[in-house]
Amino acid sequence: MKSSLRNNLAIALGLLVSAAAIAQGISSYQLCRSGMSALLDLRLEQVAVRMRNGLADSIPATPARGSQPSRDIVITIRKPGAEVPLRSTDPSLQLPQDAAAGLSSDDVNGERWRIYTLRDAGSLIQVAQRSSVREELEREAALTTLWPTLVLLPLVLGAVLLIVRVSFRKMNQLGNEVQEIDASRLRPLPSAGVPSELQPFVDSINRMIGRLAQSIEAERKFIADAAHELRTPLTALQLQADNLQPHIVPGNQERFNELRSGIGRSSALIAQLLRLARADAPLSGSTIEPTDVSEIVVQAVSDVLPIAAARGIDIGAEEMVQDRVAASAADVAIAVKNLVSNAIRYTPDGGTIDLRMRTEGTMLWVEVTDTGPGIAPELLPRVFDRFFRANLDIEGTGLGLSIVRSITQKYGGDAQIRNRNDGRSGIVAAVSFPLAEMFTGASGHGAGTTTGKLAQATGATRYLHGRDV
């Protein structure tokens, strides 16, 4: 488990506050007990002084047994050397006459007592209190001092967690923005409001983003320039090959066709490289007009319909919506046509290709589902890598899906490839683009209109989910 700076700081501060609170509670408890003990001693002394000053007559000469509460103090007044006290609140308690003047502690009748002894010329005054009662009073008073600590400690810990979370909020925001950085979104991190401790880190990342942007731009320009320079001679070769075809003797026709096929593959690769360079190019500052994706889907199906018909592939749309997206129509068309072309290429003769549009949150998704062989699960993470081909037996450049992902990421969308999970072989390829502002007209009406256009464009109808499309 990875260490968290925020959690470590919160735990450290929480332990520090808890330790301080415990130390404060213990010290308050002990100080309160000491203060309460001193206060009880002072009370014994004050009672003895008042007895000497004339309040002794208030004590009954013969008190009733058991009339005094056990928690109260005991007062005994006697003549020096006399066995029987003159007055006592508890005659059964024989306090030691030889106790030292002032405060002392002694065992009487099996109990520990705190005794204050006041010796005068003609009398011996002793005021005593049970030590167990004193300890109980001290403990009760001391425990009351712990309540503020017990109440404030959770509040302080909560405040610590809140302060730590607020203090790390800017760091979390920066972390989220760093996670969103990719080749299509190389924006520098904002430095406004960044703590001084993080400023060098943010500046370093921004410098790295600048260098990365320059490197990617240089790579894109190189690919675009190289593809552009190569396209002209390849076109010339294609024209020369076409002109030479009638003059090729029958015995060389097979090798000549291989030559033409190689020129065609090279031209297709150059075209894909140009599309990739355009897909990697950042968006211009001009406003993007909302794009009707349903029209693009109709056109993509129309373009491949002759190939699908020749191979007996059943192609059509299950569900269409009329929502528009905030993306260039040309880019959306390239992304959708690449998915449809891939589906045609990998679907065996007599197979099925379904197109479906759906909205999810603020995104519009276009899904293309085929009945091809599917992709090995261990190869799925690599399908968007440039020049990667999952099936080497099928002709291709390995750039189509890379172009699709570059286009979708440029507009804040996404591209996904997964195997079907409905018990049939094949894959589900999907692209998403952010929705533009909603236009007037219900989605249901738009869906019917688009479906009709699809049927008219394809020149055929197809029964799907109980409806003719």
Give the tens place of pLDDT for each residue, 212-240: 878 777 776 776 666 666 667 777 777 87
| Helix residue spans in 53-96 (DSSP H) | none
Residues 6+ apart with CB under 8 A from 33: 138, 139, 141, 142
Distance CA 190, CA 182 (A): 16
Tokens standing for residue 413: 């969308």
- Span 63-83, average pLDDT: 75
Give the model's confidence band at 274: pLDDT under 50 very low, under 70 low, under 90 confident, else very high: low
Residue with tokens 């290429």: 345
- Span 306-334, average pLDDT: 86
pLDDT of 263 above 90? no
Q: What is the dihedral of CA 99, 101, 103, 109, to 10 degrees?
A: 20
Question: What pLDDT sits at residue 207?
Answer: 86
Beta-bridge mates of residue 112:
107
Percentage helix, strand, coil, to 5, in the chain? 55, 15, 30
Which one, of 68, 128, 134, lies nearest residue 104 by Cα?
128
| Cβ atoms within 10 Å, residue 273 | 21
Give the model's confidence band at 2: pLDDT under 50 very low, under 70 low, under 90 confident, else very high: low
Q: Rounded to the nearest 5°, which phi and psi values hold at 402?
A: -65, -40
The percent of residues above 90 in pLDDT, for the chain, comes to 15
First to last CA, the chain: 53
pLDDT digits (tens, 9 = 90+) for 49-66: 888 887 777 777 666 655
pLDDT digits (tens, 9 = 90+) for 154-171: 998 889 888 888 888 877
pLDDT of 94 above 60? yes
Tokens standing for residue 444: 């249901």
Local structure of 162: helix, strand or coil: helix
Question: What pLDDT sits at residue 39?
Answer: 93
Q: Residue 465: which region, alpha, beta or left (left: phi > 0; alpha: psi -120 to 50)?
A: left
Characterize 188-221 residue by residue with b for buried, 16 or more Cβ atoms within 10 angstroms of its Cβ, and e for exposed. Answer: bbeeeebeeeeeeebeebeeebeeeeeeeeeebe
Question: What pLDDT sits at residue 37?
Answer: 92
Local structure of 353: helix, strand or coil: strand
What CATH architecture applies to the domain 199-280?
A: Orthogonal Bundle (1.10)
Residues 6+ apart with CB under 8 A from 369: 343, 353, 354, 355, 356, 420, 426, 427, 428, 429
Distance CA 219, CA 212 (A): 10
Residue with tokens 């000469």: 61
Residues 6+ apart with CB under 8 A from 421: none
Helix (H) or strand (E) holding 301: helix 293-310
Q: Give 247's DSSP letter.
A: G
Distance CA 134, CA 145 (A): 17
Mean pLDDT of the chain: 79
Distance CA 20, CA 18 (A): 5
- Span 322-329, average pLDDT: 86
In single-letter form, the type of residue at position 139 comes to R
Local structure of 148: helix, strand or coil: helix
β-strand pairing of 352-360 with 314-319: parallel
- Span 95-120, average pLDDT: 88
Domain residue spans in the chain? 5-144, 199-280, 291-468
Give the model's confidence band at 386: pLDDT under 50 very low, under 70 low, under 90 confident, else very high: confident
Question: What pLDDT sits at residue 449?
Answer: 39
Question: What pLDDT sits at residue 227?
Answer: 63
Which one, of 234, 240, 228, 304, lies nearest residue 264 by Cα?
234
In single-letter form, the type of residue at position 165 comes to R
pLDDT digits (tens, 9 = 90+) for 420-455: 888 888 999 999 999 886 433 333 334 443 444 444
In single-letter form, the type of residue at position 324 comes to R
User: Going along 198-268, which residue ranges are E strands?
Assistant: none
Residues 6+ apart with CB under 8 A from 173: none
Residue with tokens 């002694």: 106
pLDDT of 38 above 90? yes
Question: What pLDDT sits at residue 465?
Answer: 33
- Between CA 15 and CA 20, with CA 19 as vertex, the angle to 5 degrees is 120
pLDDT digits (tens, 9 = 90+) for 182-209: 666 677 888 777 777 778 888 888 888 8
What is the fold, at CATH topology level, of the domain defined by 291-468? Heat Shock Protein 90 (3.30.565)
Distance CA 133, CA 43 (A): 14
pLDDT of 343 above 70? yes
Question: What pLDDT sits at residue 441?
Answer: 38
Residue with tokens 């030889």: 98
